[in-house]
Structure 1
Amino acid sequence: MGERIKQYRIISNWNLADQVYEMELEGDSSWITHPGQFLNVTIDNAYLKRPISICDWNENGLTIIYKVVGFGTKQMSQKQPGERLECLVGLGNGFTPEAFDEKKVLLVGGGVGVPPLYGLAKTCLKQGKQPVVILGFTAEKDIFYIKKFADLGCDVKLSTNDGSQGVKGFVSDVMVQEGLTNLPYFACGPMPMLKAVWRVSNAPGQLSFEERMGCGFGACMGCSCETISGPKRICKEGPVLSSQEVLWTKD
């Protein structure tokens, strides 16, 4: 396990949106093989680490985006440039856009499910694909990264629950209204969003699940998801699973 513990130097840590922060880290990124993988951040005076998805990476380091929701992420938000951050790395199986032959693909993200889609969009573009990106937020104050996706050349669409920006409603509403339900898709966000996307889509997809994790490497079975082949651990076999293998519970 020791070789999977890495020390990173914080380059920047700034407020992107309401309680949402972007942290740029300098250090080893060679373990990242697919967009959608994650790391576990060590929190002072806490037993459990905090799983955070990778937003972007290059040969010098990586970028993560997180929302302050409790003690651990509050501590992260107070970190200053130059400080060190200890992380358990090499976690999770990411998105595999090469699994789809289609050139046009759909990327759907909600809230803090948006960050891993940025690295995915860059990967799709490198593979010659044309990403259509739907970003969903609760309200205008929560919005981030629209311009970043647009600057890549993505076709970006927006929804907010309260209608303060973009389509009033949910990402699944945009899929239906824009006639995007036949595109192979990649989605990351809260469980109700993933289920709604799955319901309206007529195409295969890949779903990245947001779950609380105990160990982060599959030992505790605390983040299992039911699939057609039995329980799968979100931290180990996931966080990305095929939309065709997930068994959804009844509402």
Structure 2
Amino acid sequence: MSIKRLLLVEDDRPLAELVGFHFDRAGWAVTRTGDGEEALILSEEIKPDLVVLDWMIEGISGIEVCRRLRRKENSANVPIIMLTARGEEEDRIRGLETGADDYMTKPFSPKELLARASAVLRRVRPAIAAGALSYAGIEMDLAAHRVRRDNAPLQLGPTEYRLLRHFLENPGRVFSRQQLLEAVWQHSEEIELRTVDVHVRRLRLALGEPDIIRTVRSAGYSLDAAH
């Protein structure tokens, strides 16, 4: 099973440590913060598979963090579970209407939160929960780090693998070169945009025909079997 990334936004340190411990033990990579502004920055940097977000945090509120995450293209579809001491029905409805996928009232069991996280991930991002991605005959086993197309194994370099994974997680969506740099390359500010073109060409060669990577003039690239 591939490592899933959790962004935990909770300013109660003992609770954050307890929740982080349970997720870490379950194989998640956990990034913690108790500050709303920092949470928005971290969401861009680590691209979490799930956000667990407390309603009452330092800086901007959890409900506002949720709202802003939903407005951003890169985080619009990231599953969010809200934590709060508020148990009133109106508050639960407000949280869900703002964009949260699930809601837990304190105090809660960390084991139940883990179960809810797995359930949300299966519902919202089933491919990641299953540890595999597939599209148009391409199959990527995230645990074994193997790729096949029409049942034939493919040999990909590390960068081409990461690039293909990003495309497979977002089929049909157009990404600019800058967006691909930020998503696939570490220290992307040190790399030229034309590097993306080089690795897209290598990925196309490795995938073979038919070519399902669409070049969108003046925009970027998309994994699109229909073009």
TM-score band, normalised by the shorter chain? 0.3 to 0.5
Q: Which has the higher contact order (CA 8 A, sep 6+)?
A: 1
* TM-score normalised by structure 1 residue count: 0.30
Please report the TM-score for the alignment, with normalisation by the length of structure 2: 0.32
